[in-house]
Structures are given as C-alpha cells and as structure tokens.
C-alpha cells in the first residue's frame, strides 16, 4: 500500500512524502526496508510539556519518528 501511495503522489507532482511512524514495526519497515530518511524523532518517555510528562509510561514504541521519502 505504501508503494502505491508513493506512486500516486509522484503522479500528482509532489516531490516528498512525510509520515509519522508511531509503531515499532512500521518504523522498521519504512526506515530499513523502504529506505526512507529519519528526519526527527521524539522519545516519548522523555517528552515534557512544561513540568508535565504526559507520555512517561509509554514504552512501546519508545520513540515516534518523522520520516521522509524523496519521490
């Protein structure tokens, strides 16, 4: 499905696809097998909003990744 999204997006004239990868399995497939670039990541257990740490108990996934595919 991801390859089809990339194909259609390219046909529409876009140059990039950006995605938020919120599962460990998706991160592995998109980054390692499909070769997308890791642009940024947030470690959920360390994320803070002021004095609050709303995701401190989240352990899977440990991080959320912002990934980029160049079409």
What residue ranges do the domains of the chain occupy? 2-70
Whether this prediction's pTM lies above 0.85 is answered by no
How crowded is the C-beta side of 6, counted as CA atoms within 13 Å? 15
Residue 25: what pLDDT?
Answer: 94
Residue 59: the pLDDT is 86
Strands laid side by side in the 37-43 sheet: 16-21, 63-70, 37-43
**CA-CA distance, 43 to 13, in Å (whole number)?**
33
pLDDT of res. 1: 80
Extract the tokens encoding 27.
């991160």
User: In the chain, which residues have pLDDT < 70?
Assistant: none
Rg (C-alpha) for the chain, rounded Å, is 14
């Amino acid at each position: 499905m991801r390859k089809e999204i990339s194909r259609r997006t390219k046909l529409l004239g876009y140059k990039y696809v950006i995605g938020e990868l919120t599962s460990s399995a998706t991160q592995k497939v998109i980054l390692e097998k499909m070769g997308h670039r890791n642009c940024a990541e947030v470690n959920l257990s360390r994320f803070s909003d002021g004095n609050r740490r709303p995701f401190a108990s989240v352990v899977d996934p440990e991080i959320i990744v912002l990934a980029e595919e160049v079409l």
